[in-house]
Amino acid sequence: MRENKTFFVRYDNFPAAEGHVEIVPKRHVESFFELTARELKDAYSLIRSAQENLDDRHHPDGYTIGINEGRAAGRTVDHLHIHLIPRHYGDVDDPRGGIRRAVPNCEPDAWAASPR
């Protein structure tokens, strides 16, 4: 996989989809909010590089990019890692709501019916 001065890319141990990777800081950091400006730039650069690689290998229709920030958000490994998950039409029955489906009381049909 790829790396730069402050981050590396690795395949997820328990992938949610084929090609699911993590962008991981080399420095021990638990929180996204602890990253320096340089680390943020390096993380973004590697996310883009990994995305281009995954485009070539897996031809996804989209991506889910996520960070479980804190135990309350589902973090199980106390070292920051940014998930980059290739997505394809039909990989779930109804993808509407995306990450909002991670919390209760999420109803995409209500959004379509609500005035904006």
Question: Could you give the residue numbers annotated as active site?
Answer: 81
**CA–CA dist 58, 63 (Å, integer):** 11
- In the DSSP assignment, the letter for residue 74 is T
Helices (H), 9-71: 37-58
- Please, is 45 exposed, middle or buried when counting C-beta atoms within 10 Å of its C-beta (0-12, 13-18, 19+)? middle
CA 107: distance to chain centroid? 22
